[in-house]
Amino acid sequence: MPEETNKRHEFLFVDDDPQFLATVTQSKQSSKAHWAFRTATNHLQALEELKAQPVEIIVLDIEMPVMDGIEFLRLLRQAHPGQRVVMLSPRVGDEAARKTSMELGAVLYLEKPRTPEGFQCLFAALEALTTTGAQSGFRGVMQVGLHDVLQMECLGRKSSILGVSAGGRKGQIFINNGDIIHAEYGQLQGEMALYGLLGLSGGDFNLLAYTEPSHRTISGQYEFLLMEAARLRDEGSPSSLPQIGSLGSQDLHAALESAPPTEARGVRIEETLLCSSAGEVLHQSKCESLEARLELFQKLEQQMMQASKGTPSGRFHRVSVDTSAHRLLIQIQPTYKLLVRSALSAPTMQP
């Protein structure tokens, strides 16, 4: 996107702390040719700045004397409707402030950075916001922005609910103290819901006040989960099945029923089996011996638990086996087990 890359982006930082503003203006980002940082120490200065020259994004400290960030945000909403504002708060646990900010139209509510890493996160978020307009994508953040916001929530050890909606469907990702603990998307729950949400190509998201989910369905490290989501998105997997992660269980069943042989890609699906964690068969196609396959799931789960005992490798997720003629994928997740065997029409060996 060369046009976007060269476009000039102006930011106005509003904060009564001159040291914070000095850190911002001395940052590496402020020296970027296409980034311009302006500063104001109170709302009056900020309004003067906006009158002189509009900015793309205002970064607003929530705690300021005379008129605090939320009051100023309310004022901005009336005086400059459509102005994108990122709120910064030193007390990220203040859910009431977060909720009010988001209701008043803030595009992001972030922890006020105090460390170089914190500033990096803030600038990454601003960069993501500048890469797309406010009228499409995730309310001004392109699809990858959802991933970034989730990462920031985890890095900051925050507790929140990331609500996502796209195409009339809604989902939620629960983050507790920086850990992704639960996700829901349509009828999906757990990792599959998380991967489905992170695989969406557009929609809206909101950071909501944290409440406990009815149960915990995700226990992995967030770094791994985000990597898996990226991998699945890149591969369109699991195992070349169409957008499996983004479907509800009914849709998933239908997709599996109708998944056509993918001759054009040199792969022909020979066998599929999808089970619930309890071993209930949700879908099967050309599965010669269900009993043997269910035993295989169970055996593999036990074997891998035994194999990784005493190591920091953690939970087993999946195995893929490639020979010159076949590919076998077995995925064992907390909410489902999946086996896909396919035949390759041309000999390939890929790990």
Partner 1 sequence: MSKSVETFLSSFLPIGGLAAYTVELPNAVLVSECLSKSLYPVSTAQMLTHIVQDGRTLLSSGEQAAQYCWTFEGHRVYVASRTDGVCLALLVENNPSVQMARVQEVLQGFIDLPEV
Chain residues binding partner 1 by CB under 8 A are: 220-221, 223-224, 227, 300, 303-304, 306-326, 328, 330, 349-351
Amino acid at 118: G
Instruction: Tell the smallest beta-carbon distance from residue 319 to partner 1 (Å).
Output: 5
CB closer to partner 1, 70 vs 330:
330
Instruction: Tell the smallest beta-carbon distance from residue 108 to partner 1 (Å).
Output: 25
Give the integer Cα–Cα distance in Å for 129 and 109.
13
Give the integer Cα–Cα distance in Å for 345 and 326.
9
Region of 82 on the Ramachandran plot (φ > 0 left; ψ -120 to 50 alpha; else beta): left
CB closer to partner 1, 206 vs 240:
240
Instruction: Tell the smallest beta-carbon distance from residue 37 to partner 1 (Å).
Output: 30
Give the integer Cα–Cα distance in Å for 223 and 200.
19
Give the integer Cα–Cα distance in Å for 329 and 272.
10
CB closer to partner 1, 160 vs 237:
237
CB closer to partner 1, 51 vs 299:
299
CB closer to partner 1, 10 vs 301:
301
Give the integer Cα–Cα distance in Å for 182 and 171.
11
Instruction: Tell the smallest beta-carbon distance from residue 66 to partner 1 (Å).
Output: 46
Contact by Cβ (8 Å): 222, 182: no
Count the neighbouring beta carbons within 10 Å of the beta carbon of residue 282.
15
- Token digits of residue 69: 């960030």
CB closer to partner 1, 91 vs 231:
231
Instruction: Tell the smallest beta-carbon distance from residue 194 to partner 1 (Å).
Output: 14
SS3 150: helix
Contact by Cβ (8 Å): 211, 182: no
3-state DSSP of 178-194: CEEEEEEECCEECHHHH
Instruction: Tell the smallest beta-carbon distance from residue 300 to partner 1 (Å).
Output: 7
Instruction: Tell the smallest beta-carbon distance from residue 349 to partner 1 (Å).
Output: 6
Instruction: Tell the smallest beta-carbon distance from residue 245 to partner 1 (Å).
Output: 16
From the number of C-beta atoms within 10 Å of its C-beta (0-12, 13-18, 19+), residue 137 rates as: buried
CB closer to partner 1, 38 vs 293:
293
Phi, psi angles (nearest 5°) of residue 244: -60, -35
CB closer to partner 1, 119 vs 316:
316
Contact by Cβ (8 Å): 297, 275: yes
